[in-house]
Every structure is written in C-alpha cells, then in structure tokens.
Amino acid sequence: MSGPGQPVREGATRAGRREWIGLAVLALACLLYAMDLTVLHLAVPALSEELKPSSAQLLWITDIYGFMVAGFLVTMGTLGDRIGRRRLLLTGAAAFGMVSVVAAFSTTPEMLILSRALLGVAGATLAPSTLSLIFSMFHDPRQRTTAIGVWITSFSAGGAIGPVVGGVLLEHFWWGSVFLLTLPVMALLLVLGPRVLPEYRDPRAERLDLLSAALLLLTVLTVIFGIKEIAQDGFSPLVVASILAGVAVGVVFVRRQFRLADPMIDPRLFRVPAFNASLATNLLGIFIAVGYFLFVAQYLQLVLGLSPLQAGLWSLPSAGGLILGSNLAPQILRRVRPAYVIGAGLAMAAAGLVLLTQVGGPADLAILVVASCVISLGLAPVFTATTYLIVGSAPPERAGAASGISETGSELGGALGIAILGSIGVAIYRGGLAERLPAGVPSQASAAARDTLGGAVGVAQQLPARAGAALLAAARESFTTGLQVTAGISAVVAVGIAVVATVMLRGVPTTAEAAEAGAGRPAGTSAAEVESRRAGPPEEPVQLIRSGGGCVACPGEQGPSAGQRPRVRRDRLPSAGRRGPSVPGAGRRGGGGGGTGGSRG
C-alpha cells in the first residue's frame, strides 16, 4: 500500500495507511449508528412495561429520532463544510454518547422522548460528516469507490447485527442497555479521530444562514410526518395540511437559496443531470428496499411464526448479500460504467422481487431468504454508485451539504416506501380479510383483526381453538396477498428506474477511465484548461464540478491552482443550457473529494 501523498500518474494522490485506519474508525461509528436505529424496536415491550407510556407517547419515542435525523441532515452537512467536518463529527459523537446515557436511564416517557430527539440531532452529524470525510481522504476514484462500499457495508452490518445483539442484551439486562452499545465505539472515535482523520473546511464560507436551516427543518419534518401518518392512519385533514404546509415552506426555502450569495443548498446543483438521476435512483432504491422489507420482517414472525431472534438470524443472509454487493461494486465500477451497473443491479433486484411474489406455499422460508439475497445483491451496487455520483457532483467545499442531501433523500425514500407500499399492503389485507373473515367472530375482535396482522394474531389467541385457527388462516392469507402485490409493484418500479438511470447516466465513465483521464493531462495543466481545449474557446472561463468519475463544465470564474482556488458560489454553478462535454475524472486533483483548501489533520 502506498504511503500518504504518494502520486499516482501525476493525477491523484493514493490513500495510505492513515486514511485506511481512519476509514475503519468511520465505519465503526456508522455501524453503531445503524445498530441504534434497529435495537429500540426490540426494547419497546420492556420499556412500555416500566415507563408505561401512552400510545401517542410510544409513537413519539419510536419516531422522533428519525424525524430529527431527517430534519437536520442537510443543515449538519452544511455546518461541517463551514466549521470543519472532523470537528463536527467528533462533537456529534461526544453528544451522541452523552445523550445515550441519559436515554438509557430515563425515568419518564417525556424524558425518553426528549433524549431520543437530542439523539436524532447528534446522529444527524454522523452520516454526512463520515461520507464527506471519505471524499476528503480518498482522491483516487478507484479507492474512493472502495471506501464508499465499506461505508455502505458498515450501515448494512449494523442493521443486521443490531437486532441480534439487542436481543442478547435484553435477555440479560434492562431495556436501557440497548442505548449503551454506542459508548465504546464513540469513545474510540474521540481518541483516534484527531489522529487519523483529516480536517476540512471551506476557509471562505460565510456564516450558516439560520433562517434557511429553520425553513429546511420545518419542510422536512412536516412532509415526513405527513407521509408517516398516511402509512399509519391513512389520509386525514391534518395529514394533508401538514404535507401542504411543508411544500409551501419548501418553496420559500428554495426561493431564499436563489437570493443568497452563499446558500445552504444551491438549487442550480439540481440542474446537473448525473446528480438528479443518481439522487432519484437512490431515493427510489431505498423506497423499494424499505417497502419490501417491511412486509418480509412481519411475514417471518407473524406468518411463519418465528421468534424475533430467529427472524433476525434468518435476515442475516440478506444483510450478507448487501455487504457482499457493496464490496464487489468498486471492482465492477472500475470496468463497467455506472449506468450499466445501476441498470443491471436494479434488474437483478426486480428478479428477486418477482421471486418474492411466489410466497404462499410450503417453501416460503427458502423463497424469502433467496429472494431477499438476490434483491440485496442487486441493490448494493446501486447504492454505492449513486452515493458516489451524488456527492461527487458537488464541488469539494460543498461535499458535506451534498452528503446531507443524499442522506435526506434516503430518509424520504424510506418514508415513502413505508407510506405508499405499506398503505397498499394494508388496504389489500383489510379487503381480503373482510371477504375471508369466518362467521362467529365478535365484531370487536374482527375490528382488531382487520387493523393489523399483529392484531389478528392477538385476537386469534383469545378465541376458541377452531374460530381462532380460521381467523388466523384468513389473516395470513390476506397478508400474503398484500406481500405479493407490493413485491410486484416494487419490481415494476425497479425496472422503470433501471431504464431511466441507464439512459441518463450512460455518459458517466468508469472509475478507471476517470483516473486515467485525471492522470493523463500534462503536469501543471488544470482540469479547466483540459476542458477548454476540448470544448473550444468558451464564452467565459469555465470551472468544473465533479460528477462521479466525470465532470460537467459550468460557467464561472476559473480560480487559481488547487489549494488556493476560491469556493464555488451559487452564481458559479451550472446553468441548464451551458455544459461542455464530459471530462472524466477532472474537477479537482484526481477528482479530489475535498483535500484542497483544508489541512490534513
């Protein structure tokens, strides 16, 4: 392995031991962060018995964390660009650890709700900071895609082992122990972070616009709240008003960004085709993943009758597929263009979803495991490629904000998956159960059974054996139908995204081509000069924004050499109608992800 700063064909610097150790530290933090998202659900029965929250309070305990994370992701990403990404990460890690202790020893529902909200704010610093630091640490496109694969793997592994570790803790300790899982790794991050992680900040950034941050928070919170309420209770005047209010505030936010000289999110970034296509593909990929897994998790426990721990263990092969696919993706992206990797991955996921429509027979468990593995293997390269392209489309000094946009899109995709696919599945379940409901079931019991499959399982246990068995069979058959239909819809969505992404991203080069293009220019020649020579004399000087492995030429002021180049302001980002031809790997040194303008900490 080369040492830090060792040149690679004049075009990029390859990461050395320090960067890879830093990546391991970042991956551990992400793994624990993902575990924290999953373990609470296992602790709900125990904390409900001890704290005795109302039904509304219990919903806030489980939901407030995700709301706050989604609302603060872009703000924290932008803040990291301004005050320093490593500084924000370490501050957030310290806050996350301290608030985790408070949550673990909460004595009232209100105390736990407040703790979960603060955990969400602290957690929002982790994902954008870690991802933008990866772009600062790994300049070589091939190494960068490998690092992103490791980053995605850490989230996958955390989500997979979280229920298993949480189940073990809950068998031996109190419910609050699940919040203490993060403490050792957060302490390790605080000790090793200053030594192995570089610092990067935009030295010319202005102060964070607090009004923009408040508008964005209100927009995300109200929209996601409305979407989740649709999934739980269907449409209502409150839900519609919440979503409309969020959209209206979002319009105000966007108009303000056009007026600011140094905006939080530059709206013109959304005119970069690779950015738009990758963001939409990532969002809809999460939509599929969360939507289908919502049904699979219930099917394992409530239809097949597995315990939570058994269901978690049978989910491990799917997580293994995601981990394997995330680590294979960098190798594939070196040889195959992202458009074809994304298209093939989504086609593979669609095949797995079609296989999932065949559940309902004696081989259900085998079908579920195989289908989930195929879906995970297909989606993993999609997430790796789209994450690389989303953050790579932004200038280095905006990598934190772009990371926040990427993660916010993922949160929104998950919420939409639960709301849309969940609502379709619930409607099919309720309609099917109404037709199949056996005679003799009391009206109160039938109403509870029609609400959810879990309600039907609970009611069936209280009825006489024959009536209970008939009700349970009808409920499970109706739920299976809902799973089959939603899997089929998800397969159609996957095919549609595959076609669109393949067409829109077909011009983006492989990471190997990007590295060769970045290394092939003469020494001392900037990427802007390479672009201007290929495109001919432009109407005005051009500056480049990286788009994954390639670049999009955009009008603006050609700055000085790397390390002195001024930040890209809103009026220097691309307009819709003026883009030069693609220059693979050119924007910064080796397609660099933020090494300029900051110090190697």
> What is the CATH number assigned to the segment(s) 272-508?
1.20.1250.20
Q: Please name the amino acid found at residue 452.
A: T
Answer yes or no: is pLDDT of 320 > 70.
Answer: yes
Token pair recorded at residue 18: 């320090």
Q: Could you tell me the CATH superfamily of domain 14-209? A: MFS general substrate transporter like domains (1.20.1250.20)
- Per-residue pLDDT tens digits for 305-316: 887 677 778 888
Alpha-carbon dihedral angle through residues 495, 500, 504, 509, given to the nearest 10 degrees: 0
Share of the chain above pLDDT 70, in %: 79
> In the prediction, which pLDDT does 205 show?
64
Q: 543 forms bridges with which residues in the sheet?
A: 554
> In the prediction, which pLDDT does 347 show?
95
Q: Cα–Cα distance between 56 and 172 in angstroms, integer?
A: 29
> In the prediction, which pLDDT does 535 show?
39
Q: Cα–Cα distance between 308 and 297 in angstroms, integer?
A: 9
Fold: same for 14-209 and 272-508 = yes
- Per-residue pLDDT tens digits for 242-265: 889 989 998 998 888 888 877 777
Q: Cα–Cα distance between 517 and 530 in angstroms, integer?
A: 10
pTM of the shown model: 0.68
DSSP 397-446: GGHHHHHHHHHHHHHHHHHHIIIIIHHHHHHHHHHHHHHHPPTT--HHHH
Collapsing DSSP states into helix, strand and coil, what is residue 361? Answer: coil
Band (pLDDT 50/70/90 cuts) for residue 572 is: very low
Answer yes or no: is pLDDT of 96 > 70.
Answer: yes
The mean pLDDT of 419-439, rounded to a whole number, is: 82
Q: Cα–Cα distance between 559 and 575 in angstroms, integer?
A: 18
- Min mean pLDDT across 27-31, 35-39, 53-57, 547-551 is at 547-551
Answer yes or no: is pLDDT of 522 > 60.
Answer: no
- Residues with Cβ within 8 Å of residue 117, at least 6 apart in sequence: 64, 65, 68
Residue 4 is classified by DSSP as: T
Answer yes or no: is pLDDT of 549 > 70.
Answer: no
Answer yes or no: is pLDDT of 123 > 80.
Answer: yes
Answer yes or no: is pLDDT of 431 > 80.
Answer: yes
Strands 550-555 and 542-547: antiparallel
Answer yes or no: is pLDDT of 73 > 50.
Answer: yes
> In the prediction, which pLDDT does 175 show?
82
- Min mean pLDDT across 11-20, 421-430, 465-474 is at 11-20
Answer yes or no: is pLDDT of 322 > 90.
Answer: no
Answer yes or no: is pLDDT of 552 > 70.
Answer: no
Most confident option among 43-47, 79-83, 102-106: 102-106
> In the prediction, which pLDDT does 80 show?
81
The residue among 79, 398, 81, 75 whose CA lies nearest residue 221 is: 75
What's the mean pLDDT when you consider all of the chain? 75
> In the prediction, which pLDDT does 221 show?
82
The mean pLDDT of 371-399, rounded to a whole number, is: 83
Answer yes or no: is pLDDT of 82 > 60.
Answer: yes
The residue among 192, 80, 29, 24 whose CA lies nearest residue 598 is: 80
Band (pLDDT 50/70/90 cuts) for residue 587 is: very low
Band (pLDDT 50/70/90 cuts) for residue 56 is: low
Token pair recorded at residue 397: 């000094």
Residue 508 is classified by DSSP as: S
Q: Which sequence spans correspond to the domains of the chain?
A: 14-209, 211-259, 272-508, 518-601
The residue among 242, 205, 234, 35 whose CA lies nearest residue 119 is: 35
Collapsing DSSP states into helix, strand and coil, what is residue 237? Answer: helix
